[in-house]
């Protein structure tokens, strides 16, 4: 078996014979500490900040529904982003590589760990802004196709891919207005959102394959300090998280004053009618770092100690 075929067979978690973002999500979620339990997380973040009855209602419903001001949630989110960014800059010991050293020999460990911290941030932001728990059975994460596809949309937002923003707001509107869970899951796996998810995943797949093979053949990405060796920097993490924050902080789940756009309403109608919204895959191109976010990030980091 050729080297590249062996790598793909080792990493292929979904059994489709290819290396794609779905494989990276599944591998990363298997790493210790990546799956975030919604109730435990919200309780930890809200304790000593709000009365117990408010905390209980936030867990049972959403923080916004519990009456927690959006500006307070945003403050907690900023702390979450700072914490996870500091962790990703010292990527080495906090998250283990799934499969141990055998896996580490065939994949750049920093890729799995970087996405592990990214998935931690995604889950935390989703929960603070009113989205339901990533499904699990005990300590084992159940990554159904609809869950993976929702995560792919979040990754699309973080990378500035057009269309992902409105799609996530449409999901929030569907959840807030009581659209049947089965219909929403279908929309994510083969209906309304699927063409967009597929296009985003395709873009990630091409770039992911390049990164994995580059890291393997160069043999230049160590377990310790891998993020710097792999070219994924401390400065790239925050802008991605801020993009996701900007979208999630203004949906029907997070903001009582939110005014739904025409696109959000069209998404919900499409979910109920079980129709598909077509996308032009040629337009699925991520933007560069937002200049205002990048400048702010660099300026802040200049005077900020990195905790390992």
pLDDT tens-place string over residues 171-224:
999 999 999 999 999 999 999 999 999 999 888 877 666 655 555 444 433 333
Helix axis angle for 109-128 and 21-30, nearest 10°, is 80
Predicted confidence (pLDDT) at residue 27 exceeds the cutoff of 80 = yes
Whether residue 199 contacts residue 149, with contact meaning beta carbons closer than 8 Å, is answered with no
Closest by alpha carbon to 12, among 2, 28, 27? Answer: 27
In a domain, 233, yes or no: yes
Q: How many domains does the chain have?
A: 1
The pTM (predicted TM-score) of the whole model is 0.82
- Secondary structure (3-state) at 265: helix
| pLDDT (0 to 100) of residue 53 | 97
DSSP state of 14: S
In a domain, 284, yes or no: yes
Contacts for 180 with CB less than 8 Å, ≥ 6 apart: none
Q: Taking residues 6-32, what's their average pLDDT?
A: 76
H or E element that contains 93: none
68-113 pLDDT per residue, tens: 999 999 999 999 999 998 887 665 444 444 444 344 444 556 677 7
Closest by alpha carbon to 5, among 209, 211, 218? Answer: 209
Which residue is associated with the tokens 């292929």? 12
**What gap in Å lies between CA 119 and CA 127, rounded to an integer?**
12
Confidence category of residue 144, pLDDT binned at 50, 70, 90 = confident
Radius of gyration of the chain (CA): 19
**What gap in Å lies between CA 271 and CA 122, rounded to an integer?**
23
- Secondary structure (3-state) at 136: strand
In a domain, 308, yes or no: no
Domain residues for the domain of 92 are 17-302
In a domain, 243, yes or no: yes
Predicted confidence (pLDDT) at residue 230 exceeds the cutoff of 50 = no
Contacts for 126 with CB less than 8 Å, ≥ 6 apart: 134, 154, 248
């Amino acid at each position: 078996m050729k080297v590249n075929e062996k790598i793909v067979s080792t990493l292929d978690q979904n059994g489709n014979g290819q290396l794609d973002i779905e494989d990276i999500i599944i591998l990363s979620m298997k790493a210790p500490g990546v799956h975030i339990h919604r109730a435990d997380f919200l309780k930890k973040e809200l304790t000593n900040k709000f009365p117990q009855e408010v905390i209980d209602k936030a867990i049972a419903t959403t923080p916004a529904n519990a009456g927690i001001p959006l500006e307070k949630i945003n403050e907690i989110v900023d702390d979450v982003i700072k914490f996870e960014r500091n962790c990703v800059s010292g990527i080495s010991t906090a998250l283990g590589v799934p499969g141990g050293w055998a896996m580490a020999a065939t994949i750049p460990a920093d890729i799995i760990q970087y996405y592990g911290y990214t998935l931690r941030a995604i889950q935390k932001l989703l929960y603070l802004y009113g989205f339901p728990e990533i499904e699990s059975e005990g300590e084992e994460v159940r990554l159904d196709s609809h869950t993976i596809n929702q995560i792919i949309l979040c990754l699309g937002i973080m990378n500035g891919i057009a269309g992902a923003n409105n799609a996530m707001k449409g999901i929030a509107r569907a959840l807030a207005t009581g659209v049947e869970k089965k219909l929403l899951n279908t929309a994510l796996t083969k209906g309304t959102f699927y063409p967009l998810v597929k296009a985003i995943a395709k873009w990630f797949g091409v770039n992911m394959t390049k990164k994995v093979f580059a890291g393997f053949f160069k043999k230049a990405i160590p377990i310790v300090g891998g993020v710097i060796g792999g070219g994924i920097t401390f400065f790239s993490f925050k802008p991605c998280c801020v993009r996701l924050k900007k979208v999630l902080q203004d949906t029907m789940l997070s903001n009582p004053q939110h005014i739904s756009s025409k696109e959000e309403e069209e998404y919900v109608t499409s979910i109920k009618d079980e129709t598909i919204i077509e996308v032009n895959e040629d337009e699925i191109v991520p933007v560069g770092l937002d200049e205002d976010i990048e400048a702010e990030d660099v300026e802040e980091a200049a005077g900020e100690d990195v905790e390992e």
